[in-house]
Amino acid sequence: MNGLAGSLDWVERDVRRILARALEGSELSVAEGCRLVAAQGRDLHALTLVADELRKRQVGDIVTYVVNRNINFTNVCIKHCTFCAFSRDHREEAGYFLPLDEVVRRAREAWELGATEVCIQAGLPPKLDGRYYIDLCRAIRQALPEMHLHAFSPEEILYGSVRSALPIREYLAELKAAGLGTLPGTSAEILDDEIRDVISRGRITTGQWVEVITTAHSLGIRTTSTIMYGHIESPPHWVRHMDLLRSIQRDTGGFTEFVPLSLIHQEAPMYRRELVPGVRPGATGTEVVKMHAVARLMLGPSFRNIQSSWVKEGPKLAQHLLTCGANDLGGTLINESISTSAGAPYGQLVPPRELRRMIREAGRLPAQRTTTYDLIKVYREEEEDSPLDRVQDPEARFGSYLRLTASGEFRFRK
């Protein structure tokens, strides 16, 4: 038996057996995953030790990050998801829509600051031209042919498909031809329609999400995958969600990473306005640790990359998660409006030098990566600051959608 497994005699017998199977390379069942998410005390500590060991075996000691910029080009949305504090009705004064040339300007600014990716997601404005997403991709590609375009959630792809009257496959093929590189696997929340009907009635269904994702993979468009937890779901929902993702990965191999996203509850309507009975105020710290550790055991063999989100968890907990199965810290972001709208105190920018410091303090080796996890540079020693490291006041430099709408400069027009 593996040396680590053999030393866990202080762990409950059933948990010890499951952890030993994981260390032997066996695929864990849903029932075994459910037992692990119930772990407490010493059993939880053992779970994190095994997750860290498997992380080391699967990806080594390098921890990655991507230099990117988020561009949330509109907050106007026809949906009314109870967890979303970002979206606005088109009649509200706070609704905004960035002109195409402003989106391109922000992408160009990011490129000049060293970014290799722009991540573009937004609301679903009424009467959107169905070809708008295609035109946006083409405009950025023409201006910045080497910038990777990581854009549009499955919900946006479905919306664009409906608005353009094109089948999903044909719509995705046109986006790829226009410059789309990869899709964020967001709008997943919990892939269980009973939960979705409570927290986001009318949103993309589990089946539709799977259709968009698997169609993208079949066209050579890789995607991330996510889960949003800490509201009304229970831990077994996490495991079934992971099992579905694992099944897709087995068939397509198209996922680049798994990104757990805990609910930012402070401004979320489901919590602030009590729209959803029994909603929790986000995940506990223990739940966050369990989520990342169990993800490493269930998904690590096929996904390899488990991300800890400094936006959702804060830099200190995100750093700790590097000892619980995670091997990536996400991106620099530059701007992030969705989490900050919900009350997250982080999201404007963490410079590359700061991400490298966090990684080194965790005893790991930092590296900048591409969107699809090719290594750009491994930092065995600290080097000269990048342009992003020299930005003194990110809020003043990059602004936020709140200031833009207050000025009326980019206010939504019907």
- How far from chain centre, in Å, is Cα 221? 17
Q: How many domains does the chain contain in total?
A: 1
DSSP-based helix, strand, coil % in the chain, nearest 5? 45, 15, 40
Q: Across residues 284-295, what is the average pLDDT? A: 98
Domain assignment of residue 292, yes or no: yes
For residue 93, the model assigns a pLDDT of 53
For residue 401, the model assigns a pLDDT of 46
Domain assignment of residue 408, yes or no: no
Q: Give tens-digit pLDDT for 330-354.
A: 999 886 544 444 444 455 688 999 9
pTM for the whole structure: 0.91
The SS3 of residue 103 is: helix
* Ramachandran category for residue 408: left, alpha or beta (phi over 0 → left; psi -120 to 50 → alpha): left
Res 391 pLDDT > 50:
yes
Amino acid in the structure at residue 125: P
For residue 1, the model assigns a pLDDT of 41
Res 9 pLDDT > 70:
yes
For residue 342, the model assigns a pLDDT of 41
For residue 390, the model assigns a pLDDT of 83
- 3-state secondary structure string, 14-30? HHHHHHHHHHCCCCCCH
Res 365 pLDDT > 90:
yes
Domain assignment of residue 221, yes or no: yes
CATH of the domain at 109: 3.20.20.70
For residue 414, the model assigns a pLDDT of 46
Of the candidates 268, 369, 341, 407, the one whose C-alpha atom is nearest the C-alpha of residue 64 is 369
CB 333 within 8 A of CB 69: yes
Domain assignment of residue 16, yes or no: no
| Cα-based distances in Å from 243 to 6, 55, 151, 273 | 27, 19, 25, 33
Res 385 pLDDT > 90:
no
Domain assignment of residue 134, yes or no: yes
Among 5-9, 65-69, 186-190, the least confident range: 5-9
Residue 354 burial (CB count, 10 A): 17
The H helix count followed by the E strand count for the chain is 18, 9
Query: Whole domain around residue 114: which residue ranges?
Result: 55-394
Q: Give tens-digit pLDDT for 64-119.
A: 999 999 999 998 998 877 777 655 554 555 688 999 999 999 999 999 999 999 99
For the chain, percent of residues with pLDDT exceeding 90: 72
Domain assignment of residue 316, yes or no: yes
Residues 94 and 113: their CA atoms lie apart, in Å, by 29
If you write DSSP's letter for every residue of 347-366 in order, what string do you get?
A: -S---HHHHHHHHHHTT-EE
Domain assignment of residue 401, yes or no: no
For residue 92, the model assigns a pLDDT of 53
Q: Across residues 368-388, what is the average pLDDT? A: 91
Q: Give tens-digit pLDDT for 104-159.
A: 999 999 999 999 999 999 999 998 999 999 999 999 999 999 999 999 999 999 99
For residue 322, the model assigns a pLDDT of 98
Of 33 and 96, which is predicted with more confidence?
A: 33
Q: Give tens-digit pLDDT for 230-284.
A: 999 999 999 999 999 999 999 999 999 999 999 887 667 776 666 777 888 889 9
Average pLDDT, the chain: 89
Burial class (CB in 10 A: 0-12, 13-18, 19+), 274: exposed
Among 80-84, 222-226, 318-322, 379-383, the least confident range: 80-84
Q: Which two tokens stand for residue 19?
A: 């952890």
Domain assignment of residue 26, yes or no: no
For residue 335, the model assigns a pLDDT of 60
For residue 175, the model assigns a pLDDT of 98
Strands (E), 109-177: 117-120, 148-151
